Structure 1
Amino acid sequence: MKTNFKIILAMLLIGMGFQNSRAQVSNAIEKTAKKTEWQFSTRAGYDFPNYKEDFKYIDYKGGFMGGISINHYWSWFGLQADFDYIKNSPKSNINNPFYENNGPIPTAIAYTDVTVTKNDITRMFVGAGPSFRHLSKNNKFQAELSLLAGLGTIDGGEILVEGVRKDDSKDPLTYHSGWDKQNLFAGKVQARFTYFFNQHWGVNAGAYYMNYFGGAQESTKNDLLVSNGYMTAGSPQQVYYYEAGTTAIRQDVDGGSTTINAFNSDQIVRDNLGGNSGTADLRRKIDLSSVGVFAGLTYRFSPSKKAPKEIVEVTKTAPVEKKYCVQTTAKDKFTNEILPNTDVSIKDSKGVVVETAKTDAFGVVKFCDLLPDDYTIEGMYNDIALEGNTAKKSEFKNDQTIIKDILYADSNFIIKGKAVICNTSIAIDGVTIVLKNNQLASQKNTNTNQKGEFTFQALQNTNYSIYGKKENYLSQTMTIFTKDYDRNKSLFIQLEICMDAADCGTAIALKNIHYDLGKYFIREDAKPELNRLVQFMNDNPGVKVELSSHTDSRASNAYNQTLSQNRANAAVDYITSQGIARARLTGKGYGESKLLNRCADGVECSEAEHQSNRRTEVKVICPQ
């Protein structure tokens, strides 16, 4: 009992500290909390009971608990009413069935099995008391402490453990009568934490300590003993606790000791130690407490205010209230970069959205025609919520515009790109942009808008591949290493995806397809560009292409023709090795027959002019 008192006293001191701490909360939090509010909560969890008994071979295990709470708050203080339903179960801890007849438990080898017959324990609690709460600045997080008193009930818990002999006869090993349904005064201390994901609904989790005062008195029914033939119905004798091979000793009220002897065939003998016939009541009141953990749902609402009575006669015109403006700038928390096109909303003290807008090119949005009130400013950029801000009623004065910032605090980068036709500034809309995380083997997709723009969120210290997909377009593939960027200096990674229009019959030069002098094997530095063609053919499964190879005018025509054909064939072989059907590919060597400049045989040209003629091209084969 002293332990229970200490626990309750400690929880009370916590409650007092909780109350004192709210005096130090800022005016912003106090004004958020100063409103009448109702809350309805449900919970389910697990209860761990603690029965103050000395039963050697019987334990009481935890079990399911469920309950509901109703709270009514005035600011930080309120009242709470609770109902809890709890199921516990008795259990035998005899795990070796081989016991000697009438010997102490456990001993030798007489039994072949153990059977357990039991009734679960049903407990309930109904109570009420004060509750204290603390609300976060944004009204989303709530911590509560409740001190409740009321009525607790307990019923059940009878258990009979029997040893089975080889001839299938049974002997009782241990027994407890449990408790008849009875009501007890009970107290409960509960701590609960709630996160509200919108104005009304939230999820909660918490823990409690519950104590039944005065002790629960053992049952006199002995239903299991009667049903198993150890006692007759209506017998004046009762058994409250039994242990085979020993004598259970209980203290009498007058200080003497009373015992229950072992079972004798079909009856139970109850004697005093002095040899007199048993008359003492061996029932005992067993103290009970428990702790539990739970989680559940919470619904809150504030009662609507009554509408004002209709004014029949107007003697004078009410003064017009002044209206004000709140100007908000969206910034990155680490770099102070402004955030254009950020969704911003402003809510009044009741949580009602007054207005929404997007920031302009300078990251600024202005809300006007506002009456003085406590406002909350929230923002969303690239599907990430910004750290909001508040504009308090006390700040609306002197016809001044209130200036506030909201901050993007996510530690990841934002890839901000644009898809354009190669060698132009012409934007391409409707392109599916694919961002592959090369370390996690995952990918994300998005589509470009009418301006060809797109955004992605990118993790730090990660490398990505990025390219575009659109019918009849051949996309550049880019690699991004975010470790090359400092998040404290930059939020955005700017890039441009170049795409060639792959119209049938139009040749597109593949860049960086170089061969060693006089050779035709595919070098490693040529593979990324050929992989770009592989990706294009995977994205356009009905397309067939011609790969053509060209040389400069140096060396003979026959040599150049053979070399270019071999190079075209090598390119086809590589693309086929990447899973593209050979039937979709044609390799064609043109030698020096299609020069792009004046550098024919006998004409002196620079190395750069000859280089422009040494090329590999691809074109979509027009359908017949």
Structure 2
Amino acid sequence: MKKFLLALMLFGITFFAFAQERQKGDLQIGVQGGASLPVSNYKKIGEAKTGFYSGLFIDQYFKGNMFGLGVDARYIRNDVSKMDSFYFENGHISTNYKNKARFQDYLFTIGPSYKFTRDRFHMEAYVRGGIMMQYFPEYDRILSYSDTRGTYDYPIKSTTNDSTNKANSWAGLGGLRFNYMLNANLALFAHVDYVQSFGTKFGNKPSQFAVKESVATANPITASTTIKGYLDHYEEVPVVKNTLHQTVQAGVGIKYIFSRRKPEPVALIAPNTDRYDEVVKTKVEVKDIQIMVRDKQTDLALSGVIVSIEGVNTDEKSTTDANGLASKLLGAKSGVYKVVGEKNGIKTPLLTLTDADFSTNSSVIFKEIFHDDPRFTLIGETFDCTLERNLPNINTVLTNSGTRINSSQISDAEGKFIYQLDAHSDFTVMANQKGQYSQTEIVTTKGLDRGQTLYVTLKLGVCDLEKDGSWVLKNILYDFDKSNIRSDAALVLDNVVAIMKQNPSLRIELSSHTDSRGDGIYNQKLSQRRADAAVAYLVNNGIAKDRLVAKGYGESKLLNGCGNGVNCSEEQHQENRRTEIKILDYTK
């Protein structure tokens, strides 16, 4: 490879020297940069997102300056669209990125050029072929879920390139360049072209990016899914998918032309003169200022950040939108401006704009600032469990399961609430609203990588209290053959205490149920002991005993047909092992 690149460079230099001497055409050297937009399978299979490129080119035109030959060298980078962890009822899907999550490519090509000239405007068409040196990302996407039998991890998408994550390939590009001549030797240009690699192997080594992926069935996983088996949602045999590098690149640049022909005066010479006009760059004294805020650890655009801009007759504050953009400051005069962002009590580093930022030809000063908060963000929604639509103005309570520290927040007009979660911690979330109740939902940040995940989501169902209504308490568990209240069960019962205190007229039956396995009389006594223990916990926390009834039903009220002698799964038996609350009396 090194010998080939050296030979390519020597050929280009020799050709340009020969052509310049013999053909009397223009030699031009340019630098360029812009956006690299992935298309087709490169975007779908490679999960590449819009990136950037930079590079330089040299074109030698022959006599007449219509046809020529050029070389192009580029650096291309497309980051991978990182996937946030997705949570469902009994597990999650997460991605482990093992190296820098991006494609990096070095492209070296050579090929013909064609130029059409009209006064100050030149259009060039070009086609190039050569070699691309590729550096691939490496990651595993894992489906993890738990049931009563244990915890399971299944890879659903993994990169399959070799351990170096490097490959070479043949590649080509073709495009158009639109030039505007500033003077006889200097031009600004914009261009667009298409870049693609070719072939499946280079030498004896695969040259395409490859992943092994499990094909999803017609039964997709949603946030409310409880997985019972991997094959319920994915085909048994994974497939290997490959993709070429495929990007559309659009950018701008500047080039210098070493002309050996006599200058043509058309449009480049001012009236009644024999010389070229000099292009005077006028300093722009008034500009717009656009600030964007990103999360430092994930590079995601960050909404809800209060951005302050103080400067020349200016003291503006605005809040970033879903794209991380603050309100644009219009018509700012040249001078010194101080910019800072703040969210959740944490400020960004101070950004200072000076006269130098106003000295460019751009009409907008665009700057990014980074917010560094190591915590995760919980974005929750309170919704009506009957009508299944979001409920506004619901008081929610977040409790750190380890420290037992509480914090509360009222959901907004769209039913949304936001908390900041410490890493490596467990939390419970519940509604605390008179006349209503919710389950005690469990949220955890254990096992999450803050460098990959910023947001954790939760939908919190809120139901009305009504006489003769009932509900099953989620997340309340007992040790095998025991009736004492565990610490995790106490957090759930604390929610019941809060509901009872907010609703003094509420009187309930708290019942315990078992599955059909084991002796029926024993199950009856065990369930009664558990119900008595739960009621005792409520009484010890300030609830009058005459408002509570403890009832153990044993295996007498099975929710399914899993009676004695019936072969049922562990999940079906778990459905019968439950703690219920029935409303005996309630006055609104």
| Largest Rg, 1 or 2 | 1
Report the TM-score range of the alignment, normalised by the length of the smaller protein.
0.3 to 0.5
Q: Normalising by the residue count of structure 2, what TM-score does the alignment of the two structures yield? A: 0.43
